[in-house]
Amino acid sequence: MHLSEHSLRQLDETYLDSLEEKALRALSVKLLDDLKEARDRLNQGPENSSRPPSSRVPWERKSGGGQTDEDVADSGFEPEPAEAPPAKTPPAEAQSARKAGKQPGAPGRGRTQVLHAHEECSHYPEVCAGCGRPLESAGAVAYTGFQAVDPHWGDPAQPGLTRWVVDHRYYEISCTCGHRTRAVAGQGVVDPLLAGIELSEWRLVGQGWRR
């Protein structure tokens, strides 16, 4: 996909009218590519998909929502015998009264520890997703970010293995054409000092742990 959701939602007839022919042609190619890719995904059914059966959503499965033999074989689990009696069944009211997951009114839980970042890594969009002009980072505004933690072999002052925390910041830049382009994880320019870091996904654990 060339265009992010954020960029696509900004495009309208007025914007397309404002573009010069060359920019409009370049944008048309991107739109066409994205449309074909979206159509391919839309037309991809269980029969022509390479996805395993267990990854299908329930309504794509063959036996009315239940597991097929193929699904069971794929998941690697043996089904329990159907005639096995339930050990102890709580009353029906108790079962229906409590829903799975967080109960209403229960205090929320989240990651409470704020990690001290050792460095910051800024991500800027390189070119305007609308007209294709190169973008300057001068007027960039951070719109989101996340922390990644990597192993770090200590220096003489702090020997041993420590965790190295990087604050990743993602920026949005407004172009003179009016389009606002956002750097997306896995794309865009990374600070030259940290050019070795490639982002494949949003994560807390940095890629150093995978080596």
* Nearest of 52, 163, 46 to residue 115 by alpha carbon: 163
Closer to Zn ion at the Cβ: 3 or 175? 175
Q: Which residues are 119's β-sheet partners?
A: 166
- How many residues of this chain bind Zn ion (CB under 5 A)? 7
Closer to Zn ion at the Cβ: 179 or 182? 179
DSSP 126: S
CB of 177 to Zn ion, least distance (A): 3
Indicate whether 130 belongs to the interface with Zn ion (CB under 5 A).
yes
Closer to Zn ion at the Cβ: 149 or 175? 175
Coil, helix or strand for 208? helix
Q: Which of 128, 173, 183, 190 binds Zn ion (CB under 5 A)?
A: 128
Q: Which residues are 144's β-sheet partners?
A: 170
* Nearest of 184, 177, 211, 209 to residue 199 by alpha carbon: 184
CB of 142 to Zn ion, least distance (A): 20
Residue 105 exposed, middle or buried by CB count within 10 Å (0-12, 13-18, 19+): exposed
CB of 42 to Zn ion, least distance (A): 29
H-helix or E-strand spanning residue 154: none
* Residues 166 to 205 in contact with Zn ion, rule: CB under 5 A: 175, 177, 179
Q: Which of 3, 27, 121, 131 binds Zn ion (CB under 5 A)?
A: 131
Distance between CA atoms of 178 and 2, rounded to whole angstroms? 18
Q: Which residues bind Zn ion (CB under 5 A)?
A: 128, 130-131, 133, 175, 177, 179
